[in-house]
Amino acid sequence: MDASSLGRLVVVSNRIGDLGNPSASGGLVVGIADALADHGGMWLGFGGQFSDEGHDRPVIRRVGGVETVGIALPAQDYSDYYNGFANSVLWPLFHYRLDLVDHRPEFLAAYRRVNDTFAAALSARLRSDDIVWVHDYHLLLLAPALRRLGHSNRIGFFLHIPFPPPDIFLAAPNHEDIIDGLAAFDIVGFQTQTDLDNYRRAVAAMRKQGEPSQQAEPVSAVFPIGIDVEAFAGMANKAADDVQIDSMRRQILGLKQIIGIDRLDYSKGLPNRMQAFARLLELHPDQERSITYLQIASPTREDVDAYADIRGELEAAAGRVNGRHADLTWTPIRYIHRNVPRTRLAGLLKASQVGLVTPLRDGMNLVAKEYVAAQDPSDPGVLVLSRFAGAAEEMQEALIVNPYVTDEVAHAIDTALRMPIDERRSRHGALLRRIEKNDAQAWRNDFLSALSAVGRRSLAST
Protein backbone atom coordinates (compact mmCIF):
# COMPACT_ATOMS: atom_id res chain seq x y z
CA MET A 1 0.00 0.00 0.00
CA ASP A 2 1.19 3.49 -0.76
CA ALA A 3 2.00 5.55 2.35
CA SER A 4 0.06 8.50 0.95
CA SER A 5 -3.22 6.55 1.14
CA LEU A 6 -3.09 6.38 4.93
CA GLY A 7 -5.43 8.08 7.34
CA ARG A 8 -4.26 10.62 9.91
CA LEU A 9 -0.74 10.12 11.19
CA VAL A 10 -0.16 10.36 14.93
CA VAL A 11 3.45 10.68 16.08
CA VAL A 12 4.37 10.08 19.70
CA SER A 13 7.78 10.85 21.15
CA ASN A 14 9.20 12.00 24.48
CA ARG A 15 9.36 15.65 23.38
CA ILE A 16 7.65 17.44 20.52
CA GLY A 17 9.87 18.96 17.84
CA ASP A 18 9.63 22.64 16.91
CA LEU A 19 7.33 22.47 13.89
CA GLY A 20 7.53 26.24 13.45
CA ASN A 21 11.25 25.93 12.79
CA PRO A 22 11.97 22.28 11.97
CA SER A 23 15.26 22.78 10.14
CA ALA A 24 16.74 24.42 13.25
CA SER A 25 15.98 21.31 15.28
CA GLY A 26 17.79 18.67 13.30
CA GLY A 27 17.27 15.79 10.94
CA LEU A 28 14.75 13.81 12.89
CA VAL A 29 12.33 16.66 13.45
CA VAL A 30 12.45 17.58 9.75
CA GLY A 31 11.69 13.98 8.74
CA ILE A 32 8.72 13.77 11.07
CA ALA A 33 7.46 17.29 10.32
CA ASP A 34 7.40 16.48 6.59
CA ALA A 35 5.54 13.23 7.17
CA LEU A 36 2.95 15.03 9.31
CA ALA A 37 2.61 17.81 6.74
CA ASP A 38 1.89 15.18 4.03
CA HIS A 39 -0.71 13.23 5.98
CA GLY A 40 -2.11 15.84 8.33
CA GLY A 41 -2.02 14.66 11.87
CA MET A 42 -0.99 15.03 15.45
CA TRP A 43 2.27 14.98 17.41
CA LEU A 44 1.98 14.14 21.08
CA GLY A 45 4.77 14.40 23.63
CA PHE A 46 5.78 15.89 26.96
CA GLY A 47 5.20 19.63 26.63
CA GLY A 48 7.80 20.70 29.18
CA GLN A 49 5.27 21.85 31.78
CA PHE A 50 4.94 20.12 35.12
CA SER A 51 1.49 19.28 36.39
CA ASP A 52 0.25 20.40 39.76
CA GLU A 53 -2.90 19.05 41.22
CA GLY A 54 -5.77 19.98 38.87
CA HIS A 55 -3.58 21.79 36.32
CA ASP A 56 -2.57 19.04 33.98
CA ARG A 57 -4.23 20.24 30.78
CA PRO A 58 -2.10 19.64 27.69
CA VAL A 59 -0.85 22.58 25.66
CA ILE A 60 -2.33 22.31 22.18
CA ARG A 61 -0.95 24.16 19.19
CA ARG A 62 -1.78 24.09 15.53
CA VAL A 63 0.83 24.53 12.81
CA GLY A 64 -0.76 24.18 9.37
CA GLY A 65 -2.62 20.86 9.26
CA VAL A 66 -0.76 19.53 12.26
CA GLU A 67 -1.80 19.60 15.88
CA THR A 68 0.82 19.32 18.62
CA VAL A 69 -0.28 18.11 22.03
CA GLY A 70 2.18 18.82 24.83
CA ILE A 71 1.17 16.88 27.91
CA ALA A 72 2.06 17.81 31.48
CA LEU A 73 3.71 15.38 33.90
CA PRO A 74 4.44 15.52 37.63
CA ALA A 75 8.03 16.77 38.11
CA GLN A 76 9.16 13.78 40.16
CA ASP A 77 7.65 11.30 37.71
CA TYR A 78 9.31 13.03 34.78
CA SER A 79 12.67 12.95 36.49
CA ASP A 80 12.40 9.28 37.49
CA TYR A 81 11.18 8.32 34.01
CA TYR A 82 13.51 10.51 31.91
CA ASN A 83 16.72 10.95 33.91
CA GLY A 84 16.02 7.70 35.73
CA PHE A 85 14.75 4.73 33.77
CA ALA A 86 15.25 6.08 30.25
CA ASN A 87 18.70 7.63 30.65
CA SER A 88 20.25 5.86 33.64
CA VAL A 89 19.04 2.35 32.77
CA LEU A 90 17.91 1.92 29.15
CA TRP A 91 20.38 4.30 27.45
CA PRO A 92 23.55 2.80 29.01
CA LEU A 93 22.23 -0.76 28.71
CA PHE A 94 21.22 -0.39 25.05
CA HIS A 95 24.67 1.15 24.37
CA TYR A 96 26.36 -1.96 25.83
CA ARG A 97 27.38 -0.11 29.04
CA LEU A 98 26.17 -2.31 31.88
CA ASP A 99 28.82 -0.66 34.08
CA LEU A 100 26.93 2.65 33.88
CA VAL A 101 23.45 1.31 34.63
CA ASP A 102 22.05 2.95 37.77
CA HIS A 103 18.72 1.32 38.52
CA ARG A 104 16.31 2.15 41.33
CA PRO A 105 12.84 0.62 41.76
CA GLU A 106 11.11 4.01 41.64
CA PHE A 107 12.54 4.58 38.14
CA LEU A 108 10.69 1.62 36.64
CA ALA A 109 7.46 2.48 38.44
CA ALA A 110 7.61 6.06 37.07
CA TYR A 111 8.45 4.76 33.58
CA ARG A 112 5.30 2.62 33.62
CA ARG A 113 3.18 5.49 34.96
CA VAL A 114 4.45 7.92 32.35
CA ASN A 115 3.85 5.44 29.52
CA ASP A 116 0.31 4.99 30.89
CA THR A 117 -0.17 8.78 31.06
CA PHE A 118 0.95 9.14 27.43
CA ALA A 119 -1.49 6.37 26.48
CA ALA A 120 -4.39 7.99 28.34
CA ALA A 121 -3.74 11.41 26.75
CA LEU A 122 -3.53 9.81 23.32
CA SER A 123 -6.56 7.60 23.91
CA ALA A 124 -8.76 10.64 24.47
CA ARG A 125 -7.82 12.01 21.03
CA LEU A 126 -7.32 8.90 18.92
CA ARG A 127 -9.61 8.18 15.96
CA SER A 128 -10.15 4.61 14.91
CA ASP A 129 -8.43 5.01 11.51
CA ASP A 130 -5.37 6.90 12.81
CA ILE A 131 -2.05 5.22 12.39
CA VAL A 132 0.34 5.73 15.26
CA TRP A 133 4.13 6.02 15.01
CA VAL A 134 5.94 5.83 18.34
CA HIS A 135 9.57 6.89 18.68
CA ASP A 136 12.34 5.59 20.83
CA TYR A 137 13.27 3.96 24.11
CA HIS A 138 11.24 6.31 26.31
CA LEU A 139 7.99 4.72 25.16
CA LEU A 140 8.65 0.97 24.90
CA LEU A 141 5.49 0.25 26.91
CA LEU A 142 3.11 2.56 25.05
CA ALA A 143 1.50 -0.04 22.76
CA PRO A 144 0.40 -2.43 25.53
CA ALA A 145 -1.06 0.55 27.44
CA LEU A 146 -3.02 1.62 24.34
CA ARG A 147 -4.20 -1.94 23.68
CA ARG A 148 -5.43 -2.18 27.30
CA LEU A 149 -7.48 0.93 26.63
CA GLY A 150 -9.14 -0.88 23.73
CA HIS A 151 -7.36 0.57 20.68
CA SER A 152 -6.79 -1.70 17.72
CA ASN A 153 -5.12 0.98 15.54
CA ARG A 154 -1.99 0.20 13.58
CA ILE A 155 0.88 1.17 15.88
CA GLY A 156 4.52 1.21 14.77
CA PHE A 157 7.65 1.66 16.85
CA PHE A 158 11.06 2.89 15.75
CA LEU A 159 14.10 2.47 17.97
CA HIS A 160 16.64 5.24 17.31
CA ILE A 161 19.35 3.67 19.47
CA PRO A 162 21.06 0.27 19.22
CA PHE A 163 19.42 -2.93 20.42
CA PRO A 164 22.04 -4.80 22.48
CA PRO A 165 22.96 -8.49 22.23
CA PRO A 166 20.80 -10.87 24.33
CA ASP A 167 23.34 -11.35 27.13
CA ILE A 168 23.23 -7.61 27.78
CA PHE A 169 19.53 -7.15 27.11
CA LEU A 170 18.61 -9.88 29.62
CA ALA A 171 20.22 -7.75 32.34
CA ALA A 172 17.45 -5.14 31.97
CA PRO A 173 15.32 -5.21 35.13
CA ASN A 174 12.12 -5.72 33.15
CA HIS A 175 13.32 -7.35 29.95
CA GLU A 176 10.21 -9.60 29.72
CA ASP A 177 7.97 -6.53 29.82
CA ILE A 178 10.00 -4.85 27.11
CA ILE A 179 9.70 -7.83 24.77
CA ASP A 180 6.00 -8.18 25.59
CA GLY A 181 5.58 -4.43 25.14
CA LEU A 182 7.21 -4.52 21.71
CA ALA A 183 4.98 -7.45 20.74
CA ALA A 184 1.94 -5.19 21.14
CA PHE A 185 3.19 -3.00 18.26
CA ASP A 186 2.43 -4.03 14.68
CA ILE A 187 5.89 -3.10 13.44
CA VAL A 188 9.15 -2.69 15.27
CA GLY A 189 11.84 -0.88 13.27
CA PHE A 190 15.59 -0.75 13.88
CA GLN A 191 18.49 1.27 12.49
CA THR A 192 20.67 -1.68 11.41
CA GLN A 193 20.69 -5.39 10.66
CA THR A 194 22.82 -5.92 13.79
CA ASP A 195 20.11 -4.37 15.97
CA LEU A 196 17.38 -6.39 14.28
CA ASP A 197 19.37 -9.62 14.73
CA ASN A 198 20.01 -8.80 18.39
CA TYR A 199 16.30 -8.22 18.97
CA ARG A 200 15.31 -11.47 17.28
CA ARG A 201 17.95 -13.38 19.24
CA ALA A 202 16.62 -11.89 22.49
CA VAL A 203 13.08 -12.99 21.60
CA ALA A 204 14.36 -16.48 20.74
CA ALA A 205 16.42 -16.70 23.95
CA MET A 206 13.42 -15.76 26.06
CA ARG A 207 11.12 -18.11 24.22
CA LYS A 208 13.54 -20.93 25.00
CA GLN A 209 13.29 -20.04 28.68
CA GLY A 210 9.51 -19.87 28.32
CA GLU A 211 9.62 -16.21 29.39
CA PRO A 212 7.47 -14.17 27.05
CA SER A 213 3.81 -14.27 27.91
CA GLN A 214 2.87 -12.86 24.51
CA GLN A 215 2.53 -15.24 21.61
CA ALA A 216 2.15 -12.54 18.98
CA GLU A 217 5.31 -11.31 17.29
CA PRO A 218 5.38 -7.98 15.48
CA VAL A 219 6.79 -7.48 12.01
CA SER A 220 10.40 -6.43 12.58
CA ALA A 221 12.65 -4.79 9.99
CA VAL A 222 15.50 -2.38 9.33
CA PHE A 223 14.82 1.27 8.42
CA PRO A 224 18.11 3.21 8.46
CA ILE A 225 17.37 6.84 9.29
CA GLY A 226 18.66 9.47 6.87
CA ILE A 227 18.87 13.24 6.43
CA ASP A 228 17.53 15.74 3.91
CA VAL A 229 20.75 15.86 1.89
CA GLU A 230 19.84 18.75 -0.38
CA ALA A 231 18.61 20.97 2.45
CA PHE A 232 21.76 20.32 4.50
CA ALA A 233 24.06 20.98 1.53
CA GLY A 234 22.13 24.21 0.97
CA MET A 235 22.78 25.26 4.57
CA ALA A 236 26.48 24.44 4.22
CA ASN A 237 26.68 26.76 1.22
CA LYS A 238 25.28 29.65 3.23
CA ALA A 239 28.09 29.67 5.76
CA ALA A 240 28.00 32.52 8.26
CA ASP A 241 30.61 35.29 8.05
CA ASP A 242 32.55 34.12 11.10
CA VAL A 243 32.89 30.63 9.61
CA GLN A 244 34.21 32.13 6.37
CA ILE A 245 36.69 34.36 8.18
CA ASP A 246 37.92 31.42 10.26
CA SER A 247 38.32 29.30 7.16
CA MET A 248 40.22 32.05 5.28
CA ARG A 249 42.56 32.47 8.23
CA ARG A 250 43.31 28.77 8.14
CA GLN A 251 43.92 28.84 4.40
CA ILE A 252 46.49 31.60 4.87
CA LEU A 253 48.18 29.63 7.65
CA GLY A 254 47.98 26.41 5.60
CA LEU A 255 46.02 24.69 8.38
CA LYS A 256 43.75 21.71 7.77
CA GLN A 257 40.78 21.29 10.09
CA ILE A 258 39.58 18.07 11.69
CA ILE A 259 36.06 18.33 13.09
CA GLY A 260 33.90 16.45 15.60
CA ILE A 261 30.31 17.41 16.45
CA ASP A 262 28.48 15.47 19.14
CA ARG A 263 26.25 15.69 22.14
CA LEU A 264 28.54 15.39 25.17
CA ASP A 265 27.57 11.75 25.71
CA TYR A 266 29.81 8.92 26.89
CA SER A 267 28.61 6.80 23.95
CA LYS A 268 30.28 9.19 21.50
CA GLY A 269 33.84 8.18 22.45
CA LEU A 270 35.16 11.71 22.93
CA PRO A 271 38.00 10.98 25.39
CA ASN A 272 39.23 8.16 23.10
CA ARG A 273 39.06 10.57 20.16
CA MET A 274 41.17 13.23 21.90
CA GLN A 275 43.67 10.57 22.81
CA ALA A 276 43.85 9.48 19.17
CA PHE A 277 44.47 13.07 18.09
CA ALA A 278 47.27 13.39 20.66
CA ARG A 279 48.73 10.10 19.40
CA LEU A 280 48.64 11.44 15.84
CA LEU A 281 50.84 14.36 16.92
CA GLU A 282 53.28 11.92 18.51
CA LEU A 283 53.37 9.47 15.60
CA HIS A 284 53.47 12.14 12.89
CA PRO A 285 55.27 15.19 14.27
CA ASP A 286 55.37 16.61 10.74
CA GLN A 287 51.62 17.27 11.08
CA GLU A 288 52.24 19.70 13.96
CA ARG A 289 51.21 23.28 13.09
CA SER A 290 49.50 22.07 9.91
CA ILE A 291 46.33 20.72 11.55
CA THR A 292 43.79 21.85 14.08
CA TYR A 293 41.02 19.82 15.70
CA LEU A 294 37.68 21.52 16.40
CA GLN A 295 35.41 19.60 18.77
CA ILE A 296 31.91 20.92 19.36
CA ALA A 297 30.14 19.09 22.15
CA SER A 298 26.64 20.19 23.07
CA PRO A 299 25.49 20.00 26.70
CA THR A 300 23.09 17.14 27.34
CA ARG A 301 21.38 15.33 30.25
CA GLU A 302 23.37 17.21 32.84
CA ASP A 303 21.13 15.93 35.65
CA VAL A 304 22.26 12.35 35.08
CA ASP A 305 25.29 11.32 37.18
CA ALA A 306 27.16 9.49 34.42
CA TYR A 307 27.24 12.72 32.40
CA ALA A 308 28.67 14.86 35.17
CA ASP A 309 32.21 13.44 34.94
CA ILE A 310 32.67 13.45 31.21
CA ARG A 311 32.70 17.24 30.91
CA GLY A 312 35.63 17.62 33.31
CA GLU A 313 37.39 14.67 31.72
CA LEU A 314 37.24 16.24 28.26
CA GLU A 315 38.27 19.70 29.37
CA ALA A 316 41.28 18.13 31.10
CA ALA A 317 42.15 16.05 28.02
CA ALA A 318 41.98 19.09 25.69
CA GLY A 319 44.02 21.13 28.18
CA ARG A 320 46.70 18.44 28.40
CA VAL A 321 47.15 18.21 24.63
CA ASN A 322 47.18 21.99 24.21
CA GLY A 323 49.53 22.45 27.17
CA ARG A 324 51.96 20.03 25.66
CA HIS A 325 51.84 21.08 21.99
CA ALA A 326 50.45 24.61 21.64
CA ASP A 327 52.62 27.65 21.00
CA LEU A 328 51.89 31.34 20.44
CA THR A 329 50.54 30.84 16.92
CA TRP A 330 49.02 27.37 17.04
CA THR A 331 46.30 25.74 19.17
CA PRO A 332 45.97 22.03 18.34
CA ILE A 333 42.51 21.49 19.91
CA ARG A 334 39.66 23.95 19.98
CA TYR A 335 36.98 22.59 22.28
CA ILE A 336 33.54 24.22 22.42
CA HIS A 337 30.93 23.05 24.94
CA ARG A 338 27.87 24.73 23.49
CA ASN A 339 24.93 24.36 21.11
CA VAL A 340 25.67 25.85 17.71
CA PRO A 341 23.01 26.94 15.15
CA ARG A 342 22.59 24.36 12.41
CA THR A 343 23.59 26.61 9.52
CA ARG A 344 26.86 27.36 11.29
CA LEU A 345 27.42 23.65 11.98
CA ALA A 346 26.86 22.90 8.30
CA GLY A 347 29.37 25.60 7.31
CA LEU A 348 31.93 24.26 9.79
CA LEU A 349 31.54 20.70 8.47
CA LYS A 350 32.06 21.94 4.92
CA ALA A 351 35.18 23.87 5.91
CA SER A 352 36.79 20.79 7.52
CA GLN A 353 39.12 18.43 5.68
CA VAL A 354 38.46 15.50 8.02
CA GLY A 355 35.19 14.52 9.74
CA LEU A 356 35.76 12.47 12.89
CA VAL A 357 32.78 10.35 13.91
CA THR A 358 34.08 7.76 16.33
CA PRO A 359 31.35 6.70 18.79
CA LEU A 360 31.91 3.61 20.92
CA ARG A 361 28.32 2.68 20.03
CA ASP A 362 25.66 4.66 18.16
CA GLY A 363 22.24 3.85 16.70
CA MET A 364 23.00 5.58 13.40
CA ASN A 365 24.84 8.92 13.82
CA LEU A 366 23.46 11.64 11.63
CA VAL A 367 26.61 13.78 11.85
CA ALA A 368 28.37 11.22 9.60
CA LYS A 369 25.72 11.82 6.93
CA GLU A 370 25.70 15.59 7.51
CA TYR A 371 29.48 15.70 7.01
CA VAL A 372 29.21 13.98 3.62
CA ALA A 373 26.24 16.15 2.56
CA ALA A 374 28.13 19.35 3.45
CA GLN A 375 31.25 18.64 1.35
CA ASP A 376 32.15 20.31 -1.92
CA PRO A 377 32.01 17.31 -4.32
CA SER A 378 34.91 18.68 -6.37
CA ASP A 379 37.23 18.92 -3.33
CA PRO A 380 35.63 16.84 -0.56
CA GLY A 381 36.98 16.04 2.87
CA VAL A 382 37.34 12.52 4.28
CA LEU A 383 35.08 10.84 6.84
CA VAL A 384 36.72 8.74 9.57
CA LEU A 385 33.91 6.56 10.94
CA SER A 386 33.63 4.13 13.83
CA ARG A 387 32.65 0.60 12.91
CA PHE A 388 30.30 0.77 15.92
CA ALA A 389 28.15 3.58 14.52
CA GLY A 390 25.04 2.27 12.78
CA ALA A 391 26.04 4.49 9.84
CA ALA A 392 29.03 2.20 9.17
CA GLU A 393 26.65 -0.44 7.78
CA GLU A 394 25.85 1.88 4.84
CA MET A 395 29.01 4.00 4.69
CA GLN A 396 31.81 1.55 3.97
CA GLU A 397 33.67 4.03 1.72
CA ALA A 398 34.55 6.07 4.81
CA LEU A 399 37.79 5.19 6.61
CA ILE A 400 36.31 2.67 9.04
CA VAL A 401 38.06 2.43 12.42
CA ASN A 402 37.86 0.68 15.74
CA PRO A 403 37.53 3.64 18.16
CA TYR A 404 39.04 1.63 21.03
CA VAL A 405 42.38 1.27 19.18
CA THR A 406 44.07 4.64 19.54
CA ASP A 407 46.85 4.03 17.00
CA GLU A 408 44.37 2.84 14.38
CA VAL A 409 42.34 6.06 14.67
CA ALA A 410 45.51 8.17 14.66
CA HIS A 411 46.71 6.45 11.45
CA ALA A 412 43.29 6.85 9.81
CA ILE A 413 43.32 10.61 10.50
CA ASP A 414 46.79 10.81 9.00
CA THR A 415 45.66 8.82 5.94
CA ALA A 416 42.65 11.12 5.57
CA LEU A 417 44.86 14.23 5.75
CA ARG A 418 47.16 12.89 3.02
CA MET A 419 44.53 11.33 0.75
CA PRO A 420 44.90 12.29 -2.94
CA ILE A 421 42.02 14.17 -4.51
CA ASP A 422 40.95 11.36 -6.86
CA GLU A 423 40.48 8.95 -4.00
CA ARG A 424 38.68 11.60 -1.94
CA ARG A 425 36.30 12.27 -4.81
CA SER A 426 35.53 8.63 -5.51
CA ARG A 427 34.90 7.78 -1.84
CA HIS A 428 32.78 10.88 -1.36
CA GLY A 429 30.79 10.25 -4.56
CA ALA A 430 29.87 6.73 -3.43
CA LEU A 431 28.89 7.93 0.05
CA LEU A 432 26.85 10.81 -1.29
CA ARG A 433 24.86 8.52 -3.62
CA ARG A 434 24.09 6.19 -0.73
CA ILE A 435 22.91 8.90 1.69
CA GLU A 436 20.80 10.43 -1.09
CA LYS A 437 19.14 7.09 -1.68
CA ASN A 438 18.60 6.38 2.04
CA ASP A 439 17.48 9.87 2.95
CA ALA A 440 14.93 11.11 5.48
CA GLN A 441 12.11 10.81 2.99
CA ALA A 442 12.97 7.19 2.11
CA TRP A 443 13.13 6.39 5.82
CA ARG A 444 9.66 7.65 6.64
CA ASN A 445 8.06 6.40 3.43
CA ASP A 446 9.50 2.91 3.94
CA PHE A 447 8.40 2.83 7.57
CA LEU A 448 4.89 4.15 6.91
CA SER A 449 4.38 1.88 3.88
CA ALA A 450 5.37 -1.13 5.97
CA LEU A 451 3.06 -0.01 8.77
CA SER A 452 0.15 0.52 6.41
CA ALA A 453 0.72 -2.89 4.84
CA VAL A 454 0.17 -4.84 8.06
CA GLY A 455 -3.32 -6.08 8.73
CA ARG A 456 -5.27 -4.38 11.47
CA ARG A 457 -4.97 -6.47 14.58
CA SER A 458 -7.93 -7.85 16.42
CA LEU A 459 -7.67 -6.96 20.06
CA ALA A 460 -8.38 -10.53 21.06
CA SER A 461 -4.95 -11.54 19.78
CA THR A 462 -3.00 -9.12 21.98
Count of residues engaged in binding ligand ADQ, rule: CB under 6 A: 22
CB nearer ligand ADQ, residue 74 or residue 162: 162
CB nearer ligand ADQ, residue 130 or residue 362: 362
CB nearer ligand ADQ, residue 88 or residue 365: 365
CB nearer ligand ADQ, residue 51 or residue 443: 443
Q: Which one of 41, 164, 363, 381 is in contact with ligand ADQ (CB under 6 A)? A: 363
Choose the binding region for ligand ADQ from 164-172, 174-182, 362-370, 394-402 (rule: CB under 6 A): 362-370
CB nearer ligand ADQ, residue 110 or residue 225: 225
In angstroms, the CA 36 to CA 42 distance is 7
* Contact mark string toward ligand ADQ, 250..289, x via CB under 6 A: -----------xxx--------------------------
- In the range 221-250, which residues lie near ligand ADQ by CB under 6 A? 225
Q: Which one of 235, 351, 367, 416 is in contact with ligand ADQ (CB under 6 A)? A: 367
* Contact mark string toward ligand ADQ, 308..347, x via CB under 6 A: -------------------------------xx----x--
Q: Is 298 in the site for ligand ADQ (CB under 6 A)?
A: yes
In angstroms, the CA 63 to CA 397 distance is 40
Choose the binding region for ligand ADQ from 11-19, 65-73, 192-200, 356-364 (rule: CB under 6 A): 356-364
Q: Is 438 in the site for ligand ADQ (CB under 6 A)?
A: no
* Sequence-ordered list of residues with C-beta below 8 angstroms from that of 95, at least 6 positions apart, any chain: 161, 162, 164, 267, 360, 361
Active site residues: 160, 362
- In the range 376-435, which residues lie near ligand ADQ by CB under 6 A? 390
- In the range 161-180, which residues lie near ligand ADQ by CB under 6 A? 161
* Contact mark string toward ligand ADQ, 118..157, x via CB under 6 A: ----------------------------------------
Least Å from the CB of residue 242 to ligand ADQ: 15
Angle between helices 270-283 and 406-418 (to 10 degrees): 60
Choose the binding region for ligand ADQ from 13-21, 25-33, 167-175, 404-412 (rule: CB under 6 A): 25-33
Q: Is 28 in the site for ligand ADQ (CB under 6 A)?
A: yes
Choose the binding region for ligand ADQ from 43-51, 57-65, 311-319, 358-366 (rule: CB under 6 A): 358-366
* Contact mark string toward ligand ADQ, 180..199, x via CB under 6 A: --------------------
In contact, 14 and 138? CB cutoff 8 Å? yes
CB nearer ligand ADQ, residue 36 or residue 119: 36
| Residues near ligand ADQ (CB under 6 A) | 26-28, 160-161, 225, 261-263, 296, 298, 339-340, 345, 362-367, 370, 390
